[in-house]
Chains A and B, each alone.
Chain A
């Protein structure tokens, strides 16, 4: 065995525990749901104990199902509004501004980090109180002090509200990554550009931004993936309602699998999500021209 072969073997050995654990408890269940998606498996009724193979029937039904398309659309706006725009813009702004030697820098930093540490059930619970209808609810009362009449936030603007709440939860992770990315940009380059007469905006646009592109890519990939898979806090906050206005894909799968008890159909939704995310992953890699 050559030295290189031995090293390769050792590296594989190091990775083995991860492969086993992720393979058994993440990849295998995902593959199993491909199998389930080809059956009429259910949680109640005869199909619970004796599922039948139904071929692609679940998929055919899926593409004709308005509820499914609705949940894809809701998920799209949710990811775009919160992960791609809301968290990213506010996180980047915070990261850029907190590079200044401001007086309350550490306090502000801590406050922004706080929501990120809030467990999903608590996040749902807090925001129910914030956004409840009626003039006693927290937000309405605060706005009432400014003379703004009460709004039924979760009833009238449900999708916007879950975007607001998820942005709230995620500013910190965007800020952390962007701070790190910015710190890797050599100060001398920016200074040189400034001395050459570039405006701060130009420095940011033409020097800083290209240099933090790899960080942005990592952020976009990870936050898109984790946002698509969100379930817990929307479940605690709106359970997908009113109607199906906030029925993101995770809630839709839950409703199909555990409210309508149709495991096979719910699994088909999960499989389609997986395929779509592969496409999104490819788009990111191509569009941002970054290699792993």
Chain B
């Protein structure tokens, strides 16, 4: 954070007020985690706040030993990671195009993609399922023509659009693209055209310009767009619930969600330990990307 601080000396009292307000906000943000952390180390965890007795690591160990925790993590990383990469590449190109074009469709397009995101996911599930199933059948007959029958199933687990990695990757990417496009478009708006003109004078083609000049400059924007896409896809549970079935493909939110009523009584220790591990990657990613935010969003919206 390299913003200039005012040089006018501030009275100390103001700092005290600032501390007070910030402390209240921090307590509000932090307090719900107290129970989660305690319960995750508690052998007899309950829905209620209690001091762990006895302390245990079994809740964490159980995720990987009793359940397929490692597989859930692997699948979540594959699906959300791939979706994030698609979002980065597509929104990088698309955001640049939207920033530099003055075509008549620019504004209608921008508003359409952002406003269509108000449709809550439950309304999209059924139409999405039929589209993906149609595409899935096409993919399946293509794969069948290439591979021996015994390789069909493992192949479809990867490239299948229903109950396969690819389908969920595309769904996540599509859901996150509108916001990412907005972020990248507004970010490219802040990068002066001069840079490109210099390259243009040197005779660089559009793709050379993108690769050599704009890609390095776009990093902070991509960092911010990527982190929002990652966190939002990482936390989604409805789409994995509907589109994945095979045990090989189970992801973290499903592991967590299924644990709820799998047995009549909820295992709160297991659930909180899993919840902590589940949120950890998103927290870490946020920590890394924080420095990109200021640079990315300082432009706001410009004509």
Q: A-side interface residues toward B, CB under 8 Å?
A: 7-8, 10-12, 14-15, 17-19, 21-22, 24-30, 32-33, 36, 90, 93-94, 97-102, 108-122, 125-130, 132, 134, 136-138, 141-142, 168, 171, 176-177, 179-184, 187, 190-191, 194, 212-218, 221-222, 225-226, 228-232, 235, 249-250, 253-254, 257-258, 263, 266-267, 269-270, 273-274, 277-278, 281, 290-292
Number of A-B pairs whose CB atoms are under 8 Å? 337
Flag the segment in B63-71, B98-106, B141-149, B151-159 that touches A: B98-106
User: 10 closest A-B pairs (Cβ-Cβ)?
Assistant: A214-B300, A250-B120, A180-B297, A119-B235, A187-B4, A270-B123, A25-B174, A215-B300, A136-B48, A29-B127
Contact of B90 among A11, A21, A99, A212 (CB under 8 A): A21
A249 x B126 contact (CB < 8 A): no
- In the assembled complex, the CB of B83 is this many whole angstroms from the nearest CB of chain A, namely 11
B34 within 8 A of A: yes
- In the assembled complex, the CB of B123 is this many whole angstroms from the nearest CB of chain A, namely 4
* Chain B contacts for A109, CB-based, 8 A: 290
11 A-B residue contacts at CB 8 Å?
Answer: A12-B97, A12-B103, A26-B178, A33-B127, A100-B14, A119-B278, A125-B256, A130-B35, A180-B296, A269-B123, A292-B303
B179 within 8 A of A: yes
B282 x A8 contact (CB < 8 A): no
* Chain A contacts for B89, CB-based, 8 A: 17
* Chain A contacts for B111, CB-based, 8 A: 281, 292
In addition to A138-B31, A138-B49, A266-B123, 11 A-B residue pairs with Cβ atoms within 8 Å of each other are A10-B206, A11-B103, A112-B25, A119-B278, A176-B294, A180-B298, A187-B4, A231-B238, A232-B238, A273-B118, A281-B115
A27: nearest residue on chain B (CB-CB)?
B116
Residues 228 to 282 of chain B near chain A (Cβ within 8 Å): 231, 234-238, 252-253, 256-257, 271-272, 275, 278-279, 282
Interface of A is mostly: helix
- In the assembled complex, the CB of A152 is this many whole angstroms from the nearest CB of chain B, namely 14
Contact of B122 among A36, A115, A231 (CB under 8 A): A231
Which of the listed residues A22, A90, A213 has the most CB atoms from chain B within 10 Å of its own CB?
A: A22
Q: In the assembly, what is the distance between CA of A217 and CA of B279, in Å?
A: 30
A122 x B279 contact (CB < 8 A): yes
* Chain A contacts for B125, CB-based, 8 A: 257
B237 x A232 contact (CB < 8 A): yes
B10 within 8 A of A: yes
B110 x A102 contact (CB < 8 A): no
B131 x A194 contact (CB < 8 A): no
B174 x A21 contact (CB < 8 A): yes
Residues 201 to 240 of chain B near chain A (Cβ within 8 Å): 206, 210, 231, 234-238
Q: B-side interface residues toward A, CB under 8 Å?
A: 1-8, 10, 14-15, 18-19, 21-23, 25-26, 28-36, 39, 46-50, 86, 89-91, 93-94, 96-98, 100-101, 103, 106-107, 109-128, 130-131, 170-171, 173-175, 177-179, 181-182, 186, 206, 210, 231, 234-238, 252-253, 256-257, 271-272, 275, 278-279, 282-283, 285-287, 290, 293-303
B32 x A111 contact (CB < 8 A): no
A121 x B96 contact (CB < 8 A): no
Q: In the assembly, what is the distance between CA of A117 and CA of B100, in Å?
A: 33
B39: nearest residue on chain A (CB-CB)?
A129
* Chain A contacts for B174, CB-based, 8 A: 21-22, 24-26
* Chain B contacts for A15, CB-based, 8 A: 93-94, 97-98
User: A15-B93, A231-B120, A253-B120 are contacts. A132–B47 as well, Cβ < 8 Å?
Assistant: yes
Q: In the assembly, what is the distance between CA of A137 and CA of B113, in Å?
A: 42
A25 x B18 contact (CB < 8 A): no
B301 x A111 contact (CB < 8 A): no
A112: nearest residue on chain B (CB-CB)?
B29
User: A25-B174, A121-B253 are contacts. A270–B120 as well, Cβ < 8 Å?
Assistant: yes
Q: In the assembly, what is the distance between CA of A278 and CA of B114, in Å?
A: 10
B100 x A11 contact (CB < 8 A): yes
B25 x A94 contact (CB < 8 A): yes
Contact of B15 among A102, A127, A235 (CB under 8 A): A102
* Chain A contacts for B231, CB-based, 8 A: 116-117
Q: In the assembly, what is the distance between CA of A173 and CA of B294, in Å?
A: 12
* Chain A contacts for B186, CB-based, 8 A: 218
B120 x A25 contact (CB < 8 A): no
* Chain A contacts for B98, CB-based, 8 A: 15
B171: nearest residue on chain A (CB-CB)?
A25
A165: nearest residue on chain B (CB-CB)?
B32
